[in-house]
Amino acid sequence: MRCPHCKAWSSIRSSIQVTDTSRESIFVCRDPECGHSFSAVTTINRTLSLSSKPNSRVILPLSSHIKRALVAQQLAAMPVSEYQPINSPPSTRDLFEPPPPPD
């Protein structure tokens, strides 16, 4: 991102995740004579390609180029495959759930 004052490029010094769809970053101007530091928020504003691992808490508008009716038709017609991703995180139990019976 360019410095809004001198138009030199700036660098991100730190950033924090604010929500599932936004991040706040602290920028510092690379021009030592300017030295401006500023904060900017980056926000995800739409979905361009659907996720294969959607999070129900994340509600984003679909880009207008997505053919919704065709996607719905394809999902309804496709069989389900019993695929398990290699890098899937281990399943965890609720803290207060009783342990499963031994095999």
The pLDDT tens digits for 37-54 are 999 999 999 888 888 888
C-beta of residue 77 within 8 angstroms of C-beta of residue 70? no
pTM confidence score = 0.60
14 vs 27, 40, 73, 82, CA distance in Å?
8, 11, 44, 41
Mean residue pLDDT of the chain comes to 86
Rounded to 5°, angle at Cα 73 from 44 and 21: 10
Instruction: Name the one residue in this structure whose structure tokens are 């929500």.
Output: 19
The pLDDT tens digits of the residues spanning 63-79 come to 888 887 887 888 788 88
